[in-house]
Each structure stands twice: as C-alpha cells, then as structure tokens.
Amino acid sequence: MKLSVIASNRPASQGAFKAIKEKYNLVSPADADVLVVLGGDGFMLRTLHERINRPTPIFGMNCGKIGFLLNEFNLDNLENRIRQAEQVILKPLEMKTENIHGKVEKTYAINEVSLYRHSSQAAHLKISVDNQERLSELVCDGVLVATPAGSTAYNLSANGPIIPIGSNIMALTPICAFRPRRWKGALLPHNAKVQIEVLDPERRPVAAVSDYLEFSKVKKVEIQEAQQIKLPLLFDPEHNLEKRIISEQFYT
C-alpha cells in the first residue's frame, strides 16, 4: 500500500506527520493509493476542495477538536486500519453565482452553500426549485442548502434536519426567517436545482458562501448536486460517518 500524508500547520498535526514519516515509507500524493490527512474538520474540507477532481481515497485522523469527518488519531496498525476501513462517497454541491456587476463564478461545497445578509437590513430572497417558484419573497437573515455530510454542521445550528448519508436528499433551511414565519425549510431530491434570486441586491446586499469561500454582492445563485464528482472517505468501522450521523439524531 502506497501512502501519502498531508498535515495542517497546527503543532499537533505536524508532530503526527513527523511520527508517521519515521514509521512508514511515504510517496507523493499523486502516486498514493490512500491519502492520510492530519488535522481538523476545517483542514479536511480544504483538502477535499483541493482534490475535487482527484478521487484518491482519503483516511483522515483528527488532530483538531471535533473531527466529525475524520477518524481518531492512532498510529498503531495504520495500514491494517486502512485496509479494514469502510468507504463513504461524498457528493458535493455545485454553486454558480452572478453578482450585481454580471460576473459569474462557480465553485463547490462539501457541507453547504449559504446565503446571508451583508448589511443591517434583512435579505429579501425569491426561491425557485427546478424553475418553479416556491417562495416569492423570503425575508430572513439568510438561507442554506446542505448535503447529508453537512447537515450536522451549520444546517443543524439553524434548526435544519439531520440527513443520513445515502438518502439522496438535501436540505433547504432558512436562517432566522421573518416572513413567512411558519416556513421551516424543505427536504429536496438530491438532483433538484435550487435557484435563489436576491430582491433589491443593491440596497439589501447578500453574500454567498460555499463552505468557506465567500462571494459578495450576489444577485442570483444556482445550487445543485455535482453528480459527476465522487469523493471517497475511509472510516474505521466503529467510527463510520453514516453511523455517527444517525447517532446525532438522538443526541441530547
């Protein structure tokens, strides 16, 4: 098994990197069968973004705080752990934005795409799904579309639903909705296209964020699953991402 390792610049990650280098013969990421990632969830998200078109399986080990997308850190029997690991395929969201100057940009999100007000005034948004208008005006702090993998992150803190991996569903969740007050969001098929138009974008500016990449003064945003992209993550059987997402629904 040819292993490659990348690590965040945190001292814990760099110390773990040094220990692995002393124990294993490592290769470059381009030549690896498996890429071992050392860091926290933020570093894992950045790594996935950088490798969006490189489908090498990734085995992450947590050197951060929560480590939801990573395994526990342990160097013992690392190769055997990787061989026995269970694979989960993540499919990111594709986000296309157009700003008030007509500039169009495209990027991807592993967790979620979120829109939020960029001023003291509430955002006014029109929401369509598959070219059918669903909300003519949502007055809110923002709205987000989350993947199953991201449903336990920002989506959950905004009172959105937790979605099991493999459910072929994504969440459309409002952030502090003012009107309509009773609207709590929607569950959509994974292949739906969400179209969001910012009403009065000059006076009520809105920013769009895909995970950690921000685009300001947007007027239109399209979000859909990037079905052609598959990101394989490897997990210890007892630390499987699918099982942990199920468990999160019963966390009190």
pLDDT tens per residue across span 14-36 = 999 999 999 999 999 999 999 99
Task: Give the integer Cα–Cα distance in Å for 246 and 195.
Answer: 29
Ranges of the chain with pLDDT below 50: none
**Tell me, what's the pLDDT at 91?**
94
**Tell me, what's the pLDDT at 240?**
84
The class level of CATH for 93-225 reads mainly beta
**Tell me, what's the pLDDT at 251?**
80
| Among the listed residues 26, 65, 37, the one whose alpha carbon sits nearest the alpha carbon of residue 231 | 37
Task: Give the integer Cα–Cα distance in Å for 112 and 79.
Answer: 32
Tell me the catalytic residues. Answer: 41
Helix (H, G, I), strand (E, B) or coil at 248: helix
**Tell me, what's the pLDDT at 233?**
96
Q: Which two tokens mark 47?
A: 């790594």
For the chain, the domains span 3-91+229-248, 93-225
Residues 6+ apart with CB under 8 A from 83: 1
CATH of domain 3-91+229-248: 3.40.50.10330
Residues 6+ apart with CB under 8 A from 246: 164
CB 89 within 8 A of CB 240: no
**Tell me, what's the pLDDT at 48?**
95
Helix (H, G, I), strand (E, B) or coil at 49: helix
**Tell me, what's the pLDDT at 247?**
87
Task: Give the integer Cα–Cα distance in Å for 117 and 68.
Answer: 28
pTM: 0.92
The per-residue b/e assignment along 59-84, b for 16 or more CB within 10 angstroms, e otherwise, is bbbbbbeebbbbbeeeeeebeebbee
pLDDT digits (tens, 9 = 90+) for 139-184: 999 999 999 999 999 999 999 999 999 899 999 999 999 999 889 9
